[in-house]
Amino acid sequence: MPASTRHHRALAVFVHCLGILAAAPALPAVAPEAATAPRPAAVTPQPAATAPPPAAVTPPPAAPTPRPTASAPGPTAVTPPPVAVAARAPAAAASAEPTPPSAPPAVAPPSRVPASVPPPPVTVAVATESSPAPRYRIHVRNVGNSPLDTTVRQELPSGSSPTAISGGGRSSRSGGSTAEVTWRLRLPAHSTTTVGTALTAAAPGQPLTAPACAFTSDGTRPYDCASATWQAGGAPAAEITEAPPWRRYPVLLAGLGVLVLLSALVAWVWRRRRGRRVTAAALASSGTPDDGRGTIYPRAASPSPSRRRRTPPVWLLVGAAVVVLAGVIGTAGWTATRQVSSIDTQKQPTSGAWTGTGVSGPVGVPLRESAFEFTVYRMSCAAGAANGSGAAPAGGRRCQATVGVRNVTGAEQPWHGQLQRAYLPGGRWVSTDEPATRAANLGRDVFANPVAAGSRAVLPLVFTVDGRDPPRQLELRSGVFSAGVRVQMP
């Protein structure tokens, strides 16, 4: 064997030995585990040695039970009889080392369950009649199995007054500002009661919305609310036709522009023809050196003067451009004015990070935003506990708004009390008084759970305001980035 080969083999053996020595500490300790495997069986008889004190108390047949386990081989000592196991259980538990508790599993916090609002025992439906004057029918139904006492209130539009009230109702003032009609009804089980009103229209042909709500017998907590808008009959054709063409600004501007252009064109044609006539007369009257007689020698050819092509005068071009520009500017201004006049000035800008479009409307009209459809049915302000929300603070009073909330999306939606605001005169605003709102809802926090998909609820929201002036506007929204709705108070 060559020397180089022997050296390589020796070096390979040395390297392999070093690898085995380096890997030995990392190998699993199989032998110690196998050696310690029978230890539990050898330890289990030890409590049997301490078991005689309890065995002296127990009947004699139970005393010799540990002894066979000592003389039995190792495998049999692992599975003692059931009686011996029961006797040694306390001792084994005392001698065994305590096992440290395992870490709790990583469980996600439970999500909030959508608020399940039970169906109200009383439902309300409002309908209008086809009549020259506003007339409403209010259907109040008791869906429960027992009779109920309820108070029905109908809010009257601003500037209107009742002319006829059925069912023993009476007219009053809500909070000293808004007129309302109130009925106190006794509803038998599974029955429907119909009441009605006739109102005077503040302006002929103007639509009027009159919401109605059914409250508990004390008139503080709403059962259900509904609303209807009375529409006047169709207007005559003469009132809805547009203005004649000669009275429209675009038509007038276009006619004026055409007239100016025609006038300029006539003036230019007249000047051109007049210039031709003058030139022809000048050529005809100009004399020659031979007084018209010819010569025997040909006349030297003379270059004819070049005639420049006549173009419209500058004043005509400038005037036409000015007229066209004025017509375009006038038409654009008129169109923009019509579009701006059709925009509701009460709407807030809803660009950027806002979701949806801001909507404004009066009391009783459903207003929809990105997730909810809000309907404000009434607003009542009282100094004290008249609205069931507790005593008002010093120098202030409580205003309770009856609001209908409907989730128009296909998923549950949360909402927050701090996002619901009441605007006071002067631009100041206050958020919902959540403790007072919870008290008005019989201790239930209406903002704690999200609103289920497609559900509807009628809730009282309480605002604590200072001064004597009631809120001028309510701002309701479902989320921080929602454009929300704004309800104008009468």
CATH number of the CATH domain containing 139: 2.60.40.1510
Specify the pLDDT at position 175. Answer: 53
Answer with the residue of higher pLDDT: 217 or 251.
217
3-state secondary structure string, 330-347?
Answer: HHHHHHHHHHHHCCCCCC
Q: Are residues 148 and 196 in the same domain?
A: yes
Residue 124, pLDDT above cutoff 90: yes
Residue 188, pLDDT above cutoff 90: yes
Coil/strand/helix, residue 329: helix
Specify the pLDDT at position 309. Answer: 61
Residue 335, pLDDT above cutoff 50: yes
Specify the pLDDT at position 218. Answer: 85
The mean pLDDT of 482-489, rounded to a whole number, is 91
Tell me which residue of 217, 143, 152 sits closest to 183, measured CA to CA.
152
State whether the Cα torsion 152-157-161-164 is positive or negative. Answer: negative
> Which of the listed ranges 105-109, 316-320, 393-397, 462-466 does the model predict with the highest average pLDDT?
462-466
> Which of the listed ranges 129-133, 165-169, 208-212, 318-322 does the model predict with the highest average pLDDT?
208-212
pLDDT bracket for residue 466 (50, 70, 90):
confident
Q: What is the pLDDT of residues 347-374, one digit of tens each?
A: 444 444 567 778 999 999 999 998 999 9
* Residue 282 belongs to some domain of the structure: no
Please state which of the ranges 21-35, 43-57, 143-157, 310-324 shows the lowest mean pLDDT: 43-57
Q: What is the pLDDT of residues 12-33, one digit of tens each?
A: 888 777 778 776 655 555 444 4
Q: Are residues 418 and 460 in the same domain?
A: yes
Q: Are residues 334 and 406 in the same domain?
A: no
Q: Are residues 129 and 218 in the same domain?
A: yes
Taking the C-alpha atoms of residue 359 and residue 356, their distance in angstroms, rounded to an integer, is: 9
pLDDT bracket for residue 329 (50, 70, 90):
confident
The mean pLDDT of 189-198, rounded to a whole number, is 94
Specify the pLDDT at position 90. Answer: 38
Q: Are residues 145 and 41 in the same domain?
A: no
Answer with the residue of higher pLDDT: 56 or 2.
2
> Which tokens go with 468?
């004597």
Tell me which residue of 340, 188, 350, 321 sits closest to 257, measured CA to CA.
321
Residue 257, pLDDT above cutoff 50: yes
Q: Is 455 exposed, middle or buried (0-12, 13-18, 19+ CB in 10 A)?
A: middle
The mean pLDDT of 303-320, rounded to a whole number, is 68
Q: Enter the pTM of the model.
A: 0.55
* Residue 316 belongs to some domain of the structure: no
Specify the pLDDT at position 195. Answer: 94
Find the CATH number of the domain harbouring 396: 2.60.40.1240
Residues in the chain: 490
Name the pairing type of β-strands 359-361 and 485-488.
parallel
Residue 141, pLDDT above cutoff 70: yes
Residue 266, pLDDT above cutoff 80: yes
Specify the pLDDT at position 431. Answer: 94
Residue 6, pLDDT above cutoff 80: no
Residue whose pair of structure tokens reads 């404000």 in the numeric block: 376
Q: What share of the chain is helix, strand, coil (3-state, %, to 5)?
A: 30, 25, 45
Residue 36, pLDDT above cutoff 60: no
Residue 420, pLDDT above cutoff 80: yes
The mean pLDDT of 170-186, rounded to a whole number, is 79
Identify whether the C-beta of residue 407 lies closer than 8 Å to the C-beta of residue 371: yes
225: β partners: 213
| pLDDT above 90 coverage of the chain, percent | 32
* Residue 266 belongs to some domain of the structure: no
Specify the pLDDT at position 64. Answer: 41
Q: Are residues 55 and 159 in the same domain?
A: no
Q: Are residues 78 and 154 in the same domain?
A: no
Domain finish residue from 215, 230, 245: 230
Domain tally, the chain: 4
Tell me which residue of 401, 489, 410 sits closest to 446, measured CA to CA.
401
Q: Are residues 130 and 55 in the same domain?
A: no
Please state which of the ranges 160-174, 349-363, 451-465 shows the lowest mean pLDDT: 349-363
Q: Are residues 330 and 381 in the same domain?
A: no
3-state secondary structure string, 462-484?
Answer: EEEEECCCCCCEEEECCCCCECC
Answer with the residue of higher pLDDT: 151 or 299.
151
Q: What is the pLDDT of residues 61-104, one digit of tens each?
A: 444 444 444 333 444 444 444 433 333 443 443 444 455 444 44
Q: Give the up-direction half-sphere exposure of residue 336: CA atoms within 13 A in the CB hemisphere.
A: 6
**Mean pLDDT, rounded, of the chain:** 73
Answer with the residue of higher pLDDT: 390 or 68.
390
Q: How many CB atoms within 10 Å of residue 474? A: 25
Q: Are residues 338 and 373 in the same domain?
A: no
| 418: phi then psi, degrees, rounded to nearest 5 | -70, -15
Q: Which residue segment(s) compose the domain that 433 sits in?
A: 359-488
* Residue 63 belongs to some domain of the structure: yes
Q: Are residues 337 and 366 in the same domain?
A: no
The mean pLDDT of 263-272, rounded to a whole number, is 81
Answer with the residue of higher pLDDT: 438 or 85.
438
The mean pLDDT of 212-232, rounded to a whole number, is 90
Identify whether the C-beta of residue 369 lies closer than 8 Å to the C-beta of residue 408: no
Helical pair 314-341 and 249-285, crossing angle rounded to 10 deg: 180
Taking the C-alpha atoms of residue 187 and residue 121, their distance in angstroms, rounded to an integer, is: 11
Domain finish residue from 284, 310, 343: 343
Q: How many CB atoms within 10 Å of residue 307? A: 7
Taking the C-alpha atoms of residue 164 and residue 199, their distance in angstroms, rounded to an integer, is: 7
Residue 113, pLDDT above cutoff 50: yes
